[in-house]
Structure 1
């Protein structure tokens, strides 16, 4: 490339850079003027048109001076076209109005979902605090307070384990629960149904359910507690915030094991905690915090 082409290339690159800088400046001007201020928006459009016209005029004058300085150079047009093409290739793809509308709708929907999720979390937190306060009052009357149990799917068995005076593993409690239920199918089968269809469990379905008690971290409920009360020959009482105390295994004359059943303890929903004697000085204190 000779001197004229080299100088022309530098000039065109500068022109392209100045155009980009002007567009960035214009965008900043637009962002600084509220859309509701029609008077300022009108003046803004006039200012933008003036700036663009001034730059266009200046660039045109520089091109004319260059052509006067280097008349008859046939390669300049191709160089100009190449530089213009290069500039376009470096620009981000233009977004259509339809695409912008779709993106705007998607953004609004995402923001709506985020607001709804936040409102739901605040709603659940309110329920959780109210439940904790009610349970604290009920337990205080029994000189008890809540003892946190991990939320790992084994909470009911861990709460039972915590109440026993002898050592036993959660795995053992699960196995003994499943074995008792399998040996007394007729006592439990009528109370089981398919959670998806609502249809009655077959005997094979029930046996598979019992096997899952041993193999998985499946949650336990009142029927598993009934099996455990027979296995341990001990009554089990379940305290709730808004329902009467449930006693399972009343036929056994022992001090009951005490569990607390919570509806809003964690993100997963229902949960069992254990209890412990109320600590000295804790009477009248705030509700115990959960997780």
Structure 2
């Protein structure tokens, strides 16, 4: 009986660990797909649902097989609660059983969250290292390295500002971007939609968004990059670790402005960095966020 109970306890612990690892994997999958990529985001949701359903079915089948082989293995809920007891058994006897159960559940939840957060941070650090290595391999042959741009929600505009040979403020870039987009609504509106659902926004929504570009610290997107390429009459190329280089404004003949788009460098999410000549001597770095 005791051996059976220990086997069941080990199985439950393994199930909890596998669920935590799956959630860390799912978070990594979500981080790897830009919110602007509606097609891949929809496929991501389907993949996540499939992975969770497969794990749930696997765990249920394992539990059913175990219970069939050991029908007298005891109550599953009580064993699950015992996993979370920790030092709660040493509390004064005046604590009610209901309170103990609540405390055990809370302790188990904290333990799970802590484990998941730790795994996620390890995965993120691994993703960052891999991304930086791939970007260095792309930039190195071009005699370039990344130049850090602050993660202050203006990183796309600051990266553009850094690439220009003349001085212009971030506020001016935002104003000129919004003005161009307002004047060319029909060129941008078909591409203006909810990044999560893909639902189209109205013309009024678009104009309100243009106002927010000026009034708020909105992260930039490819819409704003398209507008900036027209405003500056200059191509803008965006280098990523996992995707081909994107060139916006190919119709212009000037030397392109070069930005680096990162998915994992900043805890807040995606980020734009600038570049500089490799012989500048400074250490190549990582950076912050966009979108």
Q: TM-score, normalization: structure 1? A: 0.64
Higher relative contact order (CA closer than 8 Å, sequence separation 6+):
2
Separation (CA, whole Å) in 2 of partners of 1:204 and 1:94: 62
The Cα shift of 1:261 comes to 0.3
Pairing 1:253–2:253 present: yes
Structure 1 unaligned regions, length at least 5 = 1-91
> Is the CA contact 1:146–1:260 (under 8 Å) kept in the aligned structure 2?
yes
The structure with the largest alpha-carbon Rg is 1
Tell me if structure 2 keeps the 8 A contact 1:132–1:287.
no
Q: Is 2:241 aligned against 1:244?
A: no
- Which of 274, 285, 289 in structure 2 is aligned with 1:288? 285
Cα distance, 1:266 vs. partner?
0.8
Q: Once superposed, what is the RMSD of the aligned Cα atoms?
A: 2.0
**SS of residue in 1 equivalent to 2:279:** coil
2:159 maps to what in 1?
159
> Which residue in the other structure is 1:274 paired with?
274
CA distance in 2, matches of 1:159, 1:211: 22
The 2-side partners of 1:280 and 1:172 are apart by 28
Q: The residue matched to 2:107 in structure 1 has which SS? A: helix
Q: Structure 1 residues 181, 280: CA separation in 2 closer, same or farther (over 3 Å shift)? A: closer
Relative to structure 1, is the Cα distance of residues 194 and 243 closer, same or farther in structure 2, using a 3 angstrom cutoff?
closer
Q: How big is each residue's C-alpha offset from its partner over 1:69-99, in whole Å with a ceiling of 9 and x where there is no partner?
A: xxxxxxxxxxxxxxxxxxxxxxx89211221
- Assess, with a 3 A threshold, how the Cα gap between structure 1 residues 280 and 244 changes in structure 2: closer, same or farther: same
The count of corresponding residues between Structure 1 and Structure 2 is 198
Q: For the residues of structure 2 that align with 1:162 and 1:106, how far apart are their CA atoms?
A: 49
Structure 2 unaligned regions, length at least 5: 1-91
SS of residue in 1 equivalent to 2:131: helix
Task: Provide the rounded CA distance (Å) in 1 between the counterparts of 2:219 and 2:235.
Answer: 20
- Say whether the 8 Å CA contact 2:178–2:211 is kept in structure 1: yes
Which residue matches 1:35?
Answer: none
1:223-259 deviation line (CA, Å, top 9, x unaligned): 1101000000111000000111111111111110000
What's the counterpart of residue 178 of structure 1?
178
> Where do 1:1-291 residues align within 5 Å?
94-195=94-195, 198-279=198-279, 288-290=285-287
> TM-score, length-normalised on structure 2?
0.64
| C-alpha distance in 1 between matches for 2:211 and 2:281 | 46
Could you list the runs of 4 or more consecutive aligned residues of structure 1 that deviate by over 3 angstroms after TM superposition?
194-198, 286-291
